[in-house]
Structure 1
Amino acid sequence: MVVGLNAGFGVSGTAFADRPPAIDPGLLPAGDPAAPPDKTERGSGTNGLCFRTQASTSAAVIPASQRSLDLDRAWQFSRGAGQLVAVIDTGVQQHPRLPDLWAGGDYVAAGGDGTEDCDVHGTVVAGIIGATRVDGEGFSGVAPEARILSIRQTSSLYQAEGAGRNKSPEDFPDGYGKVSSLASAIRRAADFGARVINISLVACNNNSPAGEAAFGALGAAVRYAAVEKDVVIVTSAGNSDNACKSGNPGPDPLKPAQDLWSTIRTYVNPAWYDEYVLSVGSINSNGAPSSFTVPGPWVGIAAPGENITSLDARTTGISDGKYDNQGKYMAYSGTSFASPYVAGVAALVRDRFPELTAKQVIERLQATAHAPAEGWNPYIGYGAVDPVAALTNEVPRELPPKQASPARSVQLAVPAPPPPPDNTARNVALIGSGAIALILTLGFLASFPIRRKFGMTIDDL
C-alpha cells in the first residue's frame, strides 16, 4: 500500500460506510529509527531527476491567498514564537527563510535526514507555515517565528529497490510511501515535541480500512499524538484529481438530513480519524470551494488552496509553481497547500493561548471560521479559517455537529400595520389660518357701510 501525493491504493468496490472503529493503543508503532521499511531507489533517467521550479516574478506583492487572511492584523497578537511545527511530507529543503529547520528523519531514502525535497512539495508547505518575513517581499509564512521539523515520508520520484528493472528511462517511478511509515512519522513528530503536525498527503481507499493492520497503526498514532502528547494534527482533505478520484457525494437535496457517513465511497486517511485530526478543504480566491476538494463528513475547516506562492526549493527566493520531468508546468494548487495555512494559524493560537489543549485549539479554529450558510458542509467544514478571529474572539461552548442543516420553512412574523398619521398640528394650523382669514374678510366687508356714512371713496383717501 502506498500513501502519497499522487498515488492511491485499494480495490474499487462497494464501501460499507462506517466511522472509525475503537482504536487499539497496542498497535502504536515505534517512531525510531526513521528509515524506509524497504530498500528504495530513485527513478532512473530523466524521470528520476528532481523537479524544477518557476520563480515568482511578483516578490513585492502580497499573494492573494495570504492577503485574504489579514495576517498583518493577526501578527499584532501572535507570530507563533516557540512553536515547533512538524511537516510530514516530501522533505523540506534548506532555505534562508527557514533558519531554524530541524531535520527529523527520512522514511523514503536510507541515510536521509528529511531535508531533501525532490518533489518540490514539502518545502512549499513548510514555507506557508513558517517562512520568516523579509522587508520588501510580500510573501511570509503564517507563523513566521515558528520552527519547522521536517520528516520525509513520501516521494513520487522514489520506488522500492528493483522496481525499475523492467522499466525504460521514460517510465515514471512507482512512487514510495507507506501507511505504516506515516504512522511511525506521526509518532516520531510527537516524540520530538511538535506542538502542531501538518500532513499534506493522503491515503485513499474505496473499501473500509478498518480491518487493515496499517490503518490500525495509523489510528493508534494519531490518537497517541493528539491525546497523550497534546498535538494539533492538521491534514489535507484530499484532491479528486489525484489519489482520491472516486471522491464522495455531497449532500442530497432530496435527503438533506442524511448522515453523510452512510454515503462514503472513498475513505481519506488520516482525515477519517476526525476525532483526533482537523482536515482542511480548499477554497479559491472568491471563497468558493475548490472543485478538486474531496468532500467528506470529516472535513472541519477550509483555507486558500489555489495559485499559491511559497518558498522555492531550488533557489533562495520564492516560487509560484514547478515543472515535472516532462516539462509540464503545475501551479501550486490543492488541499495540500490549504492545510498548512490552518497549521500556521494553529501555531499562532498555541502561542497566544498556551493553556488550551489540542482539542480546544481545533474547536477554536472551527468556531471562529467564516461559516457557510448551512453552518457546516462537507466541502469546507465550518468555513474559511480566520486568523484574527481565532486569536481574539470569544468562542461558544459547543459547536453544532458536522451535519448540514436541512432547509426549513419558517413563517416570518407579519408586520403590524403602521399607526395612523397624527395630523393634529396640521389641522390646528389649517383651522387657525382659516379663522384668521375669515375674521379679516368679515372686517373688510364691515368697513363698507362706515365709509359710505362718511361719504368717503377710495379716491378721497
Structure 2
Amino acid sequence: MRTCAKWAAVFGVISVLSAPAASAAPDLPPITPVLSSYQGCRTASTVDTNDIPWAQAMLRPDRAWQHANGAGVTVAVVDTGVDATSPALAGRVANAGEDCVGHGTFVAGLIAATPRQGGGFTGIAPGARIVAVRATDQAGNATADGVANGIRSAVAGGARVIQVSAAVTGGNGALAAAVRDATAAGAVVIAPASTGDPDKAVPSFPGAYPEVIAVSAIAPNGAPVRASAPEIKVDLAAPGAMMTGIGPRGNGLFVSGGDAVAAAQVSGAAALVLSYRPALSPQDVARRLRDTAYPPPGNAPDPLLGSGVIDPEAALTAEFPTAGGKPPAVPAAVHMPPPVDTTPEVTAAVVATAAAVVIAAVTIAAVIIPRGRKRGWRAAP
C-alpha cells in the first residue's frame, strides 16, 4: 500500500491508518471548479466549525509563522475571481469582485485566509496579499488563451507567486509563452498536475510545462487521490481531498478537492518561503519545496507524488549551500508531532495520530536518525 502521510514520511513505518482523519463536516456545502448548466451562482454557506482541518493538522503551517507568515508577498489566483465580501481576506485582495462559482475564493482562502476566531481553519500564508485574476467565464469554463491572459495580468499585478487553478486540457503557444515570461519576470508558477475525475484524470496546462510546479492531491490517509498517472507530470503533492475552506458571500465554510486545491497549499508555502527569503529566484523556490518535501516510499520521485508532500516549515528553514548541489550532509532535526490539545476544537483523529507517532518513535529510534541524515538538510536556528 502506498503512503506518504506526514508521520509515515518521517518515521518510515507508521501505517496510513494513523494519519489524521478528515474533519470536514459532512454537511459542508461543496464547491466545484465549474458550475453545471442548471446551477446558479453559489449561495452562502451557513455552516461553521472550529475543528482543525486534517490538512492543517498534517502540514502545520503555524510552525513556519514564527519565521514568516507571507507578509510582503503577492499571490495571484488565476481562477473564477475572488469574492469581495469574504471577511477572511478583507483588505488583502486586489481586483476582488463577484465570484459566481466560488472556486477562486476557496483557493484564495487556502492560501491566505486569516485565522478564524476560536481556532479552526486558516490559510497557509495568512499575511500574504492576493491578486484576483478571473480567467474563466461566469460558470468557470476556461480556455488556453484566457489562462495565458490571466498569467500576464498576474505578472502585471506584481505577483511573485501565480496560482493557476483555471487549468485546461490543452496548451498553445500563447500559454507557453506567458508561462516563460512569468518565470523570467521572477514569478513562481504553480498549477494542478491533472484535471478531471480521479479515475479519468488527464494532464492539465500550464502544469505540464517544465517551468511550472505541477501538484497532485493526496487523501487524508496520505495516499494519492489518483490511482494512475499516464503522461501526467507531477512535481509535488499536497492535501487535496475533503478540504475545508471559505467561499463567497460570507464567512461560512465549504468543502472541495482536486489537484487545483492541492496546488493552492503549495502556493501558500511558496509565499512563506519568499516572505522569509525574498531574494530567491523561482528556481530556488521550486528546489526548496522539492528538496524539503517528505519523500515518497523509497526516497525517490514517484509518478503520483513527485518529490513528495510539502513541508512548509522545512522549506523556510532548511540551510542550503550557496553553490549548486544538494543541501549539506548533516543530521536533520526530527519533526515530532504537535502537542496533544485536549480542547474540543481538536479532533479525536489528530489526538490518536499523535499518540501513535509517539509510540512509533520510542520503538524505532534506531531508524529515525539514519533517515534524517539521508535527507541531507537541517533546520536553521
- Asked if TM exceeds 0.5, the reply is yes
Counterpart of 1:183 in 2: which secondary structure?
Answer: helix
Distance 1:72 1:66 in 2: 9
How has the CA–CA distance of structure 1 residues 297 and 312 changed in structure 2, closer, same or farther, with 3 Å as cutoff?
closer
Q: Which amino acid aligns with 1:232?
A: V
Residue number among 129, 135, 148 corresponding to 2:111 in the alignment: 129
Do residues 272 (structure 1) and 201 (structure 2) align? no
Distance 1:284 1:380 in 2: 12
Match of 1:90 in 2: 80
Equivalences for residues 56-455 of structure 1 within 5 A:
56-58=47-49, 60-94=50-84, 95-104=86-95, 115-155=97-137, 157=139, 176-205=141-170, 215-227=172-184, 229-241=185-197, 245=200, 247=201, 266-274=202-210, 276-291=211-226, 294=229, 296=231, 298-317=233-252, 319-321=253-255, 332-374=256-298, 375-395=300-320, 397-398=324-325
Match of 1:160 in 2: none
Distance 1:364 1:119 in 2: 33
Deviation at residue 85 of structure 1 after TM alignment: 0.4
Q: Judge conservation of contact 2:203–2:233 (CA < 8 Å) in 1.
A: no
Distance 2:228 2:129 in 1: 28
Q: Judge conservation of contact 1:296–1:378 (CA < 8 Å) in 2.
A: no
How has the CA–CA distance of structure 1 residues 346 and 176 changed in structure 2, closer, same or farther, with 3 Å as cutoff?
same
Distance 2:94 2:263 in 1: 21
Distance 1:118 1:135 in 2: 26
Q: Judge conservation of contact 1:64–1:285 (CA < 8 Å) in 2.
A: yes
Q: Judge conservation of contact 1:126–1:148 (CA < 8 Å) in 2.
A: yes
CA RMSD, aligned part only?
2.5
Q: Which amino acid aligns with 1:312?
A: G
Q: Judge conservation of contact 2:164–2:190 (CA < 8 Å) in 1.
A: yes
How has the CA–CA distance of structure 1 residues 240 and 180 changed in structure 2, closer, same or farther, with 3 Å as cutoff?
closer
Deviation at residue 71 of structure 1 after TM alignment: 1.7
Q: Which amino acid aligns with 2:173?
A: G
**What TM-score do the two structures reach when normalised by structure 2?**
0.71
Identify unmatched segments of 5+ residues in structure 1.
8-42, 105-113, 158-174, 210-214, 248-265, 322-331, 400-461
Counterpart of 2:215 in 1: which secondary structure?
Answer: strand
Q: Which amino acid aligns with 1:195?
A: R
Answer with 121-130 or 305-314: which moved more. Answer: 305-314
Deviation at residue 295 of structure 1 after TM alignment: 5.5
* Identity between Structure 1 and Structure 2 (%): 39
Distance 1:50 1:135 in 2: 28
How many aligned positions are there?
Answer: 292
Q: Which amino acid aligns with 1:282?
A: A
Q: Judge conservation of contact 1:88–1:185 (CA < 8 Å) in 2.
A: yes
How has the CA–CA distance of structure 1 residues 338 and 156 changed in structure 2, closer, same or farther, with 3 Å as cutoff?
same
Deviation at residue 79 of structure 1 after TM alignment: 0.1
* 1:188-235: CA deviation from partner (whole Å, max 9, x where unpaired): 111111010001132114xxx5xxxxx1011110000001x1001110
Deviation at residue 155 of structure 1 after TM alignment: 3.9
Q: Judge conservation of contact 2:193–2:208 (CA < 8 Å) in 1.
A: no
Deviation at residue 184 of structure 1 after TM alignment: 1.0
Which protein is bigger by CA-based radius of gyration? 1
How has the CA–CA distance of structure 1 residues 73 and 307 changed in structure 2, closer, same or farther, with 3 Å as cutoff?
same
Q: Which amino acid aligns with 2:122?
A: S
Match of 1:20 in 2: none
How has the CA–CA distance of structure 1 residues 267 and 69 changed in structure 2, closer, same or farther, with 3 Å as cutoff?
closer
Q: Judge conservation of contact 2:226–2:304 (CA < 8 Å) in 1.
A: no
**What TM-score do the two structures reach when normalised by structure 1?**
0.59
Q: Judge conservation of contact 2:79–2:103 (CA < 8 Å) in 1.
A: yes
Do residues 49 (structure 1) and 40 (structure 2) align? yes
Identify unmatched segments of 5+ residues in structure 2.
1-31, 327-381
Counterpart of 2:284 in 1: which secondary structure?
Answer: helix
Distance 1:79 1:133 in 2: 12
* 1:427-451: CA deviation from partner (whole Å, max 9, x where unpaired): xxxxxxxxxxxxxxxxxxxxxxxxx
